[in-house]
Structure 1
Amino acid sequence: MTKQVQAIIFDWAGTIVDFGSFAPTTIFVEAFRREYDFDISLEEARVPMGLGKWDHIKAVGELPEVAERWQAKFGKPMAKEDIDKIYQTFMPLQIAKVGDHADLIPGAKIVVDGLREQGVKIGSCTGYPRVVLDALIPAAKTNGYSPDCAVATDDLPAGGRPAPYMALKNMIDLQVDDVKTCVKVDDSVPGITEGLNANMWTVALLLSGNEAGLTQAEFEQADEATLSAARVKAQDAFAHSGAHYQIDTIADLPNVIEDINRRLAAGERP
């Protein structure tokens, strides 16, 4: 029997919901400000996107410009205790507000429904911890999206991205028997690396997620020059990611799946 795509593992924010991936980034900014009266920019908050949230805070603190400002303000580098405090502030804010960012990205429901009609299983994983994902899942279901599997960054003792374990846990839970028939779709470099480390096909999203940082309204109202500039910015971020495909949004995914099916039929693998 000719191999076809059996499962697609989607990221959440910036991929399926929350155009521009604003839920986590804006809360990072607020958490730093609330706990330490310390300002980071939205752009700085976006840099490590895709990592687990504790690791994300740590990575933001290690950005040279952030580390320099932190040293100047507090006279010492950011320590584990500081990261813990910011994380503890971040968590209740994120839980409270993640449902406000559960609107589906245009095309998501049509694409997912079409994939299911083809017999494709729908998995998901995220940089969100379980308590946040559990708040997001029912909000997304109300809006028409309910994956067959959802793995959070703290569900597994081995940890989250860029390691492959969340993607592989999806494969196990979905009872998929061949990793080369799985596709990882993500708007962040760590999410693409996760898929590659799992030996899956990978699809990077350029305009709906973290790298472009556009709101849905900005995307819909933008002229071609604006979209082209945003696309180039995201392409630069993904240039060395190794992603097999790069597309604007999930709406463009069906053509990619058709091409992967062709390549599988020809005996190719990721």
Structure 2
Amino acid sequence: MRKIEALILDWAGTVVDFGSVAPTSIFVKAFKQAFDFDVSIDEARAPMGLGKWDHIKTLSQLPAVSARWQAQFGSAMDDSVVDEIYATFMPMQKAIVAEFSTPIPGVLDCLNWVREQGIKIGSCSGYPREVMEVLVIAATSKGYTPDCWVASDDLAAGSRPGPWMALQNVIELGINDVANCIKFDDSLPGILEGLHAGMWTVGIAVTGNILGLTEDEWHVLAADKQAELREKAHQTLLAGGAHYVVDSLADAIPVIQQIQARIAGNERP
């Protein structure tokens, strides 16, 4: 079979939540509420794409964050502290995630075209299952329903940057060859997930975590500033291994067609 069988899509910053705002803002609030400890939005974005417990752990190990934590508390953060921050994060995230469930402009049109081509739509996320259960219901009410979804805590093997969530989509969708799948993601761990799973990978530059701007914040920027930030995001994702990069999933049809042509020519990722 020499055709695209499925797209495997990330959620926040890729399909919904322009700028991937929901998770980053809650990480900042969770650290503050649990331990009266300050992390910046930029610091909170650094590990984006990982499962949320791993995200908190990785965030705590950033040199600047670790140094501030040790100065404030006299020792390094251990896993019990990560557990407490995660326990604080979870109800806060569930409370607001539905507010960030609106599909990014143009994405549903692209996915309607994808379905017309007979391509299946899988998905996975750095969100754990109890958050995803809220998000999936909210997104369904707004027109987005993938053929399957996998949460970061569903699999014993783990989550990103490993291949397991993407490969679980392959199993659930009945895909014949991982090389007939395209993984779309706005984070570097998500791109690695696709690469490790043997898939074509496409980075999402403008609507995702690397820029971290809401739709309104993006559109008020001057054209030269947009061009500068766009180029930086494209280069970051390409350096992370993405085969292609688009500004938004809404712009992805030409890239999907290019990959289809390469698959038809018997190329593999």
TM-score (norm 2): 0.98
Post-superposition offset of 1:39: 0.6
Amino acid aligned to 2:245: Q
Match of 2:92 in 1: 93
TM-score (norm 1): 0.98
Correspondence 1:225 to 2:224? yes
The 4+ residue runs of structure 1 with deviation greater than 6 A are none
- The count of residues paired between Structure 1 and Structure 2 equals 269
Instruction: Please state whether the residue corresponding to 1:15 is helix, strand or coil.
Output: coil
Structure 1: 5+ residue stretches without partners: none
Match of 2:36 in 1: 37
Post-superposition offset of 1:29: 0.2
Distance 1:175 1:150 in 2: 14
Structure 2: 5+ residue stretches without partners: none
Distance 2:231 2:73 in 1: 37
Post-superposition offset of 1:95: 0.8
Match of 1:21 in 2: 20
Distance 2:14 2:100 in 1: 12
Post-superposition offset of 1:236: 4.2
Match of 2:74 in 1: 75
Distance 1:239 1:149 in 2: 27
Q: Which moved more, 1:238-247 or 1:69-78?
A: 238-247
**Alignment map for 1:160-239 (pairs within 5 Å):** 160-239=159-238
Match of 1:134 in 2: 133
Q: Is the 8 A contact 2:238 2:245 kept in 1?
A: no
Post-superposition offset of 1:230: 1.4
Instruction: Please state whether the residue corresponding to 1:123 is helix, strand or coil.
Output: strand
Q: CA RMSD in A?
A: 1.0
Distance 2:148 2:265 in 1: 29
Amino acid aligned to 1:42: I
Distance 1:28 1:47 in 2: 11
Distance 2:239 2:9 in 1: 21
Distance 2:97 2:20 in 1: 11
Correspondence 1:104 to 2:103? yes
Instruction: Please state whether the residue corresponding to 2:7 is helix, strand or coil.
Output: strand
**Alignment map for 1:243-262 (pairs within 5 Å):** 243-262=242-261
Q: Is the 8 A contact 2:10 2:185 kept in 1?
A: yes
Distance 1:191 1:102 in 2: 19
Post-superposition offset of 1:179: 1.0
**CA deviations over 1:58-84 (Å, ceiling 9, x no partner):** 011000000010011001111111100
